[in-house]
Amino acid sequence: MDELGRKTTDNFKSAEKFPLVLVLDNIRSMMNIGSVFRTADAFLLKQIVLCGITAKPPHREIHKTALGATESMDWIYISQTTEAIRKLKEQDYLVIALEQTAESISLKDFTPVKGKKYALVFGNEVKGVDEKVLELCDVCIEIPQFGTKHSFNISVTAGITIWDFYSKMTC
């Protein structure tokens, strides 16, 4: 671990975080939740907000894919996603839903601004981001897709989007 330069949990908690919060809106798969925790840890993200039916740590199924990231990542649970969005907006976050809508823009065309705080909302694996939540979001982004399927797994969507934001905001 020393050779890889990995942070301890204590080092992680005290480190400056990348200004990105993830909001999980009614995610039903605990494996997806764990994967998002692990990816958020890898990029030193600020926080994860769990909402609705999204399961909370500690849980054996979340732990399988999180591999300890539930211990390092800051997370909170807010039962209503709409309340979570309102709180984030009060803290000057630009709230972005990852969803295919008539007004969504391509991830490749969205340029985050350094120094700005962002919250990314990821929706239910079947129903997507709730309509009431979409109404509160500042913008919707979608990832271009070219095959026969028209959606990614939420953990894949999170990974692609986090990497895109990280690479655009740190160069």
pLDDT digit string (tens) for 64-93?
999 999 999 999 999 999 999 999 999 999
Q: How long, in residues, is the chain?
A: 171
The whole model's pTM is what?
0.96
What is the per-residue pLDDT for 136? Answer: 98
Distance CA 114, CA 131 (A): 29
Query: CB within 8 A of 159, min separation 6: which ones?
Result: 35, 39
Per residue in 99-142, pLDDT (tens digit) is 999 999 999 999 999 999 999 999 999 999 999 999 999 999 99
Per residue in 138-160, pLDDT (tens digit) is 999 999 999 999 899 999 999 99
**In this structure, what are the phi and psi dihedrals at residue 89, rounded to the nearest 5 degrees?**
-65, -35
Distance CA 16, CA 30 (A): 28
CA angle centred on 170, ends 11 and 112, rounded to 5° = 115
Among 170, 156, 148, 87, CA closest to 122 = 156
For residue 46, how far is the Cα from the chain centroid? 10
Q: Which domains can be identified in the chain, with CATH numbers? A: 9-170 (3.40.1280.10)
